[in-house]
């Protein structure tokens, strides 16, 4: 296992306004400087980064700029995060077009994972067939990812139709896509992250390590919230997971580098107890 960090807190996540009238262009985006994010993440000793599809798309016309930023920092692009409603037949081709674009760019810049969230909650309430629609769409996403040499994984997320363990259990048996457990979202949805990792050991393709206080919900650096990361890491080692651990913080009011450093210090202490299953290099600039 290797450790990376998501660029989300360097500006906070937004959606493209053009998506209100053009679904195919509705990318996620961090509204902040990616050059600073990449450099600061690398300075703390993280080996990789994850970015949103919109931020990677910003470099589509100037690819060497992103390549140079990654090479200069000494980190690699690990994953690209995208998403969609995935339950509405009429707009699904538009959403899959955007997913395909994200996969093309992820592959071009050397990523290994396509991380996908989604499954809209209808204003009128979730219908039973919505899980079948979501599963079928995710199978198409999985095929798109494989065609571009990527591993696709589904990220359960608050505000979607897959928040709780019961909802996850409705989806996973009817789709082929991998599983990206996000520790904070699973806990906030009423689940035990370690138990859910053990429930789907052969489906875990990518991991988001995230902490939170659950009531009222507040996302926090690792070690500052309620998630039991000792249990999570034990479950990952027990199931033989050997992929990336991506530390993430959905929102943060303070300095994003300080939050990333706090998480790195906490995680390094835990990883030191595991041994060779996890690589956790340090950096002279890290606190």
Query: Exposed, middle or buried by CB within 10 Å (0-12, 13-18, 19+), for 260?
Result: buried
Summarised one tens digit per residue, pLDDT across range 187-230 is 999 999 999 999 999 999 999 999 999 999 999 999 999 999 99
Cα separation, 242 vs 99, whole angstroms? 26
pLDDT the model gives residue 285: 43
Residue 122 lies in a domain: yes
Cα separation, 175 vs 278, whole angstroms? 29
DSSP letter string, 87-126 = --TTTHHHHHHHHHHHHHHHHHTT--EEEEEE-PPPTT--
Nearest of 7, 3, 42, 72 to residue 256 by alpha carbon: 7
Residue 277 lies in a domain: no
CATH number for the domain spanning 163: value is 3.20.20.150
Q: Is the pLDDT of residue 140 over 60?
A: yes
What is the distance, to the nearest Å, from the Cα of residue 63 to the centroid of all Cα atoms in its chain? 22
Q: In this structure, is the dihedral angle defined by the CA atoms of residues 234, 81, 264 and 286, taken in order, positive or negative?
A: positive
Q: Are 8 and 52 in contact (CB under 8 A)?
A: yes
pLDDT tier, 275 (very low <50, low <70, confident <90, very high otherwise): low
Q: Is the pLDDT of residue 278 over 70?
A: no
Residue 196 lies in a domain: yes
Its domain, for residue 203, covers: 2-271
Average pLDDT rounded to a whole number, residues 225-254: 96
pLDDT the model gives residue 167: 98
Instruction: State the total domains in the chain.
Output: 1
Residue 107 lies in a domain: yes
Cα-based torsion angle of the residue sequence 74, 79, 80, 84 in order, rounded to the nearest 10 degrees: -160
pLDDT the model gives residue 274: 80
Cα separation, 171 vs 282, whole angstroms? 39
pLDDT the model gives residue 206: 98
Residue 279 lies in a domain: no
């Amino acid at each position: 296992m290797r450790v990376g960090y998501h660029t989300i807190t360097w500006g906070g996540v937004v959606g493209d306004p053009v998506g209100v009238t053009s679904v195919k262009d509705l990318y996620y985006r961090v509204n902040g400087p990616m050059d600073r994010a990449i450099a600061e993440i690398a300075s703390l000793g993280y080996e990789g980064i994850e970015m949103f599809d919109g931020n990677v798309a910003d470099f589509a016309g100037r690819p060497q700029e992103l390549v140079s930023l990654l090479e200069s920092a000494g980190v690699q692009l690990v994953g690209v995060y995208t998403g969609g409603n995935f339950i509405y037949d009429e707009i699904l081709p538009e959403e899959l077009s955007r997913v395909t674009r994200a996969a093309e760019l992820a592959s071009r810049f050397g990523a290994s994972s396509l991380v996908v969230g989604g499954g809209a909650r209808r204003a009128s309430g979730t219908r039973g067939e919505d899980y079948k629609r979501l599963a079928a769409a995710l199978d198409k996403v999985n095929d798109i990812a494989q065609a571009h040499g990527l591993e696709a994984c589904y990220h359960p997320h608050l505000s979607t139709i897959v928040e709780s363990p019961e909802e996850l259990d409705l989806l996973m048996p009817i789709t082929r896509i991998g599983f990206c457990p996000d520790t904070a979202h699973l806990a906030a949805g009423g689940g035990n992250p370690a138990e859910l990792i053990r429930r789907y050991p052969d489906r875990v393709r990518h991991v988001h390590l995230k902490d939170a206080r659950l009531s009222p919900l507040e996302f926090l650096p690792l070690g500052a919230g309620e998630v039991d990361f000792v249990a999570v890491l034990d479950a990952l080692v027990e199931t033989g997971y050997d992929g990336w651990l991506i530390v993430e913080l959905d929102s943060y009011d303070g300095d994003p580098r300080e939050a990333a450093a706090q998480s790195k210090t906490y995680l390094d202490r835990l990883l030191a107890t595991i041994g060779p299953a996890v690589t956790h290099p340090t950096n002279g600039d890290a606190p």
